[in-house]
Copies of this chain bind each other. A is one copy, B any other.
Amino acid sequence: MTRGAAHKGGGEKAVAQICTECVVRDQSLCGSLTDSELTTLNSIGRSRRLGRGETLVWAGDDAVVCANLLSGVLKLSASTADGREQIVGLLYPADFVGRPFAEEAEHSITALTEVELCVFPRKGFEAALENHVHLERLLLRRTLAALDEARARMLMLGRKTAEEKVASFLLDMADHLARNAPPCRTEFELPLTRSQIADVLGLTIETVSRQLTKLKRDGLIDLPSGRQVAIRNRVALKLRAEAA
C-alpha cells in the first residue's frame, strides 16, 4: 500500500487501491463505476470503524460526511423535542450513508453493531457526483428506492397493529441478514435491543416483548436467548404480518 498507514486516531486509514479488495464493491454505489470514477472516489475515501452505539452524525450537526457501509448495521433516527425517538431507517452493508446537498443533518446516524465504513467528505462526494454522471445516476436510483421503502414503512407505522409490526419486522430482518449469511438461514441474531425494535416500530419496549413471547407461545418463532431468533413457521408469520 503506497499511501496506506493509518494517520488519525479514530480508526481511519487511506483507502488507496483498497477498492480492489472491497467486500461490498459489487453491490454498493461503486459497483458499476468506471476505473476513472472509482479513482476519484478512491482518492477521497477513508475507511472508518465505529463501535456499537457510536454515532457518526448527530441530527442538527453540519452534515460533513457521506459514506458506503461495508459491514454492520446503522440506524437513522429522528426525535421529538421531548425525547421520543423514531428510527426512520436501517442501513445494511453496501447501502449508501448520508445526505448530499444538505448543510445540516436531519437525522442521527448511529451504529447498532460494530461497523465498517468507507467515508467521503460530503463536499468531495458532491463534486464527484457533478463530474461523474454515472455515479449520480446510480445514486438517483438508490434514493428513489429508499423513498419507496420509507413510504412502505409509513403504511406500517400508520396502519398496522403491534402484532403485524413485530411479525413484519422479523421477516424483514431475516431477509436482510440472510443476504450476507449462509443461504436460507431462518435463525439469526438481532442487531437491535428490544428498545431499538420499539423505536423502529413506533411501539414501546413492553409491547414488543409481549408480542414476541406471544409469537413464541404460538410456535411461530423461537427465542433461544435474548437476541437470538429462529423462525419456525415462515408462512404463518407472513400471515400475521398481514398487509401487502
Interface positions of A (Cβ within 8 A of B) = 76, 78-82, 84-86, 88-89, 99-102, 106-107, 129-130, 133, 136-137, 139-141, 143-144, 146-148, 150-155, 157-160, 201-202, 242-244
Contact = CB atoms under 8 A, between A and B. Distances in A.
B242 A144 contact: no
A151 B80 contact: no
Nearest to A199: B158
Candidate in A102, A155, A157 with the most chain B CB atoms within 10 angstroms: A155
Contacts of A242: 80-82
Given A133-B136, A140-B139, A80 B147 contact: no
B86 A144 contact: no
21 contacts: A76-B151, A78-B151, A78-B154, A80-B160, A80-B242, A81-B243, A82-B242, A84-B159, A84-B243, A85-B159, A86-B155, A86-B158, A88-B155, A99-B144, A100-B144, A107-B151, A140-B143, A143-B143, A143-B144, A143-B147, A158-B202
Contacts of A140: 129, 136, 139-140, 143
A145 to B, nearest CB: 9
Give the number of copies in the complex.
2
Contacts of A129: 140
A143 B143 CA distance: 7
A88 B144 contact: no
Nearest to A60: B244
Given A157-B158, A158-B202, 4 more contacts: A78-B151, A78-B155, A80-B159, A88-B155
Contacts of A82: 242-243
B143 A89 contact: no
B151 A89 contact: yes
B202 A157 contact: yes
A116 B162 CA distance: 40
Nearest to A141: B101
Given A139-B140, A144-B102, A159-B80, A151 B150 contact: yes
Nearest to A164: B80
Contacts of A201: 158
B150 A86 contact: no
A97 to B, nearest CB: 13
